[in-house]
Amino acid sequence: MPKTLFDKIWERHIVTMIDDNQAILYIDRHFIHEVTSPQAFNGLTKRKVGLHNVKLTTATADHNVPTINQDQPIKDPLSKKQVDALNKNCADFGIELYGLGHEKQGIVHVIGPELGLTRPGMTIVCGDSHTSTHGAFGCIAFGIGTSEVEQVMASQCIIQKKPKQMLINVNGKLSKGVSSKDVILYIISKIGVAGATGHFVEYAGDTIQSLSQEARMTVCNMSIEMGARGGLIAPDEKTISYLEGKENTPKDEEWELSKAFYQELYTEENAKFDQVYNFDATDISPMITYGTNPGMGIKIDESIPENTSNSESFKKSLNYMDLQSGKEMLGMPIDYVFIGSCTNSRIEDLREVASFVKGKQKADKVKVFIVPGSQAVEKIAIAEGIDKILIDAGFEFRQAGCSACLGMNEDKIPPGKYCVSTSNRNFEGRQGPGARTLLASPLTAAAAAITGKITDIRTILNN
Amino acid sequence: MEKFIDLKSTAIPLPIEDIDTDQIIPARFLKATTRQGFGENLFRDWRYNREGQINNQFVLNNPIYHGKILVSGKNFGCGSSREHAAWALYDYGFRVVVSSFFADIFKNNALNNGLLPITVTPEKLHQIFSLIENDPNTNFSINLASQTFSQPKSGVEISFDIDPFKKMCLTKGMDTIDYLISQKESITQFEANHKIY
């Protein structure tokens, strides 16, 4: 029977089957961070066991860290305690840690790929739902809870049932001003926030192939926002050239063997999927969300839809956002712009924003902050003069971390304020109690920063 | 993990769809390093207003409703993988969550913590909401061995699905980590032949 890419990877990681459904699945790389690991470490201590294969775990501090003055002690005592606990646990258990201040520190889903720790054919887990990001390299990568973090620490394995599989094909040429973020927001708006629950998604088609390796990460990153366990894309020459020479990428003879292995990682013709969707890239416009889940997205020049099914949840959502059905989003004044998060904080995102912003000024009343995904990204941005372009435009150029994506640190959006955000979730209170999030691409966010309102980037680019 | 003990309880209705884990437990309360105490901040921003006063409109603050069962709209637990959501529900006193649909990671997290997620059809969910609305003191019985959720007086008897392995873990209060540690021999054997490229 022809196999999918997912089947191939899954099968070579089954240690044994517990019963007809549940597999003991071997994990090739485990990423941990300060928020979802302390209870797992407590568990290990209580059991008096260490990590089964400590070399396969990598730690960083990202969720809680401040994005200014990172050289100084963390002010929030609870955040400090959590980051300190990570430092201590990693030291006690012998785990490689890229902690606050380390040159390799950054958002866990940004540093994995840039260090070459994320590679095709791997199984990767992390106590964070956006672990799906790593699927852009052709791996099975998914978010897990803390009990599962402890499972992996103790045994390098996880007990999992094989999910169903979904294929999403996107074909056609994207218009100018339309990015991979718009592609995934469009897909989620069509499939819905629960449309892929129980499934692992493979993204394919010439549009997906045309995306850069980093842009593919943005697509896979948001797989969880339609309920999918994860998303993956078959590796190709772009993937290989992205990885070549990275710190942890195999070298010399091993690299040749690895490349041969990667070339076998594709879905065979006529392989079976439980569900298939086909989308036309020419129908995709810059997208914006208007509600409180990522499925509530529209083309930027559309009006907010009617509540046709008279849903209480829809009413509650628009009430929270203080928006009404029929209202146009274009021209709506906004208060904040946040460019960052594991969705859109890589160097290509920053370059794209800088090239648009160069020589322009942000709107007076808008506060704009841009947070690089890692220290490495920050370093490249500075070397290329991107920081200066952004600062000249009135943006705050911050230090690496998850920041206002989830507001665990000081980077919060005040109650009632509208924030155009390149992050992945517009849930109630996600960016701070009462904050109103409008998800969009880095370009759309940059355009809003300059004009102070929701703007169709195409009208600027085409002028 | 504590064993799941069959229960008979009233239920609390929360007929909202797509309740994400940020609502169940907002990120700013994830800074603890132990598993205890999250119940205090369960549904924090719905239970309290921004000034920290109790929101009387919210169902958990309505004394008419009480019990160990939470009944919610579809796609409960979507979003973040934070297990703190399951811990918060358990710590608050819930032992069962009923919905027509659960997000995958939440479901796993719940099952790993002795919190039973029960999936019912949208029609049955609607019926359960109506029963609670008509009489908040309606008692529901949950029997894990027979996989039934029932309310004998109104003739409700729903069988629910649960993965056999997860059922065994809940029934025995079995610890999956100890189980995996007991499999070390086969894991080590597997590693000897497994290459990471």
**pLDDT averaged over chain B?**
96
Token pair of B57, please? 């409109």
Show the domain range for A316.
Answer: 286-461
- Residue A280: inside a domain, yes or no? no
Put simply, the answer to whether A407 touches B28 (Cβ < 8 Å) is: yes
Judge if A388 and A421 occupy the same domain. Answer: yes
Q: By C-alpha distance, which of A389, A399, A439 is closest to A419?
A: A439
Of the residues A275, A300, A322, the one at which a domain ends: A275
Percent of chain A with pLDDT over 70: 100
Do the beta carbons of residue A24 and residue A16 sit within 8 Å? yes
| Predicted pLDDT at A77 | 94
- Residue A446: inside a domain, yes or no? yes
Judge if A328 and A433 occupy the same domain. Answer: yes
Token pair of A328, please? 């146009």
Do the beta carbons of residue A86 and residue A97 sit within 8 Å? yes
* Residue B21 in this model has a pLDDT that exceeds 80: yes
Pick the residue from chain A with its C-alpha nearest to B16: A313
3-state secondary structure B89-117: HHHHCCCEEEECCECHHHHHHHHCCCCEE
Q: How far apart are CA B187 and CA A52, in angstroms?
A: 10
- Residue A281: inside a domain, yes or no? no
**pLDDT averaged over chain A?**
97
Instruction: Give B153-157 contacts, CB < 8 A, sequence gap 24+.
Output: B156/B124, B156/B127, B156/B128, B156/B131
| Predicted pLDDT at B177 | 93
Put simply, the answer to whether A293 touches B78 (Cβ < 8 Å) is: yes
> Residues 176-195, chain A: which have Cβ within 8 Å of B?
193-194
Percent of chain A with pLDDT over 90: 99
* Residue A400 in this model has a pLDDT that exceeds 90: yes
Query: How is residue A462 annotated by DSSP?
Result: T
> Residues 65-104, chain B: which have Cβ within 8 Å of A?
73-75, 78-84, 86, 101, 103-104
Judge if A237 and A156 occupy the same domain. Answer: yes
| Predicted pLDDT at B103 | 97
Judge if A344 and A430 occupy the same domain. Answer: yes
CATH number at residue A443: 3.30.499.10
| Predicted pLDDT at B152 | 86
- Residue A44: inside a domain, yes or no? yes
Average pLDDT for A332-337: 98
In our burial notation (b when 16+ CB lie closer than 10 A, e otherwise), range A274-312 reads eeebebebeebbbbbbbbbbbbbbbbbeeebeeeeeeee
Average pLDDT for B167-175: 93
Of the residues A275, A297, A320, the one at which a domain ends: A275
| Predicted pLDDT at A236 | 98
* Residue A143 in this model has a pLDDT that exceeds 80: yes
Judge if A91 and A184 occupy the same domain. Answer: yes
pLDDT tens, position by position, B100-116: 999 999 999 999 999 99
Centroid of chain to Cα A303: 27
* Residue B175 in this model has a pLDDT that exceeds 90: no
- Cβ partners under 8 Å of residue A131, min gap 6: A31, A109, A124, A125, A141, A142, A143, A144, A230, B81
Judge if A110 and A55 occupy the same domain. Answer: yes
Counted across chains A and B, CB pairs separated by less than 8 A come out at 191
Do the beta carbons of residue A59 and residue A112 sit within 8 Å? no
Put simply, the answer to whether B112 touches A145 (Cβ < 8 Å) is: yes
In chain A, residues with a C-beta closer than 8 Å to the C-beta of B191 are 26, 53, 156
Coil, helix or strand at residue B190: helix
Judge if A271 and A353 occupy the same domain. Answer: no
pLDDT tens, position by position, A276-319: 999 999 999 999 999 999 999 999 999 999 999 999 999 999 99
A12 touches chain B (CB under 8 A): yes
Token pair of A291, please? 């509600």
* Residue A38 in this model has a pLDDT that exceeds 80: yes
**The residue type at A123:** T
Q: How far apart are CA A215 and CA A170, in angstroms?
A: 14
| Predicted pLDDT at B1 | 85
Judge if A264 and A383 occupy the same domain. Answer: no
Domain count, chain A: 2
Judge if A222 and A343 occupy the same domain. Answer: no
Judge if A333 and A378 occupy the same domain. Answer: yes
The residues spanned by each domain of chain B are 7-193
Helix (H) or strand (E) holding A437: strand A436-439
Across A284-435, where does the E strand assignment appear? 287-289, 297-299, 336-339, 367-370, 396-397, 418-421
| Predicted pLDDT at A39 | 97
Put simply, the answer to whether B18 touches A193 (Cβ < 8 Å) is: yes
Q: By C-alpha distance, which of A100, A89, A38, A26 is closest to A66?
A: A100
* Residue A435 in this model has a pLDDT that exceeds 90: yes
pLDDT tens, position by position, A168-218: 999 999 999 999 999 999 999 999 999 999 999 999 999 999 999 999 999
> Residues 7-66, chain B: which have Cβ within 8 Å of A?
15-18, 20, 22-23, 26-28, 30-35, 45, 50
Judge if A206 and A187 occupy the same domain. Answer: yes
Angle, helices A77-93 vs A38-47, to 10°: value is: 40
- Cβ partners under 8 Å of residue A251, min gap 6: none
* Residue A262 in this model has a pLDDT that exceeds 80: yes
Average pLDDT for A322-343: 98
* Residue B93 in this model has a pLDDT that exceeds 90: yes
Task: Kindly indicate the confidence band of residue B50, based on its pLDDT and cuts at 50, 70 and 90.
Answer: confident
Helix (H) or strand (E) holding A141: strand A140-143
A86 touches chain B (CB under 8 A): no
Any idea which fold B7-193 has? Answer: Aconitase; domain 4 (3.20.19)
- Cβ partners under 8 Å of residue A154, min gap 6: A44, A47, A49, A51, A52, B177, B180, B181
Of A42, A43, A227, the CB nearest to B177: A43
Put simply, the answer to whether A129 touches B45 (Cβ < 8 Å) is: no
| Predicted pLDDT at A462 | 83
Put simply, the answer to whether B105 touches A144 (Cβ < 8 Å) is: yes
In our burial notation (b when 16+ CB lie closer than 10 A, e otherwise), range A367-387 reads bbbbbbbbbbbbebbeeeebb
Average pLDDT for B58-69: 97
Of the residues A275, A307, A335, the one at which a domain ends: A275
A348 touches chain B (CB under 8 A): no
| Predicted pLDDT at A34 | 97
Judge if A270 and A294 occupy the same domain. Answer: no
| Predicted pLDDT at B43 | 98
| Predicted pLDDT at B48 | 96
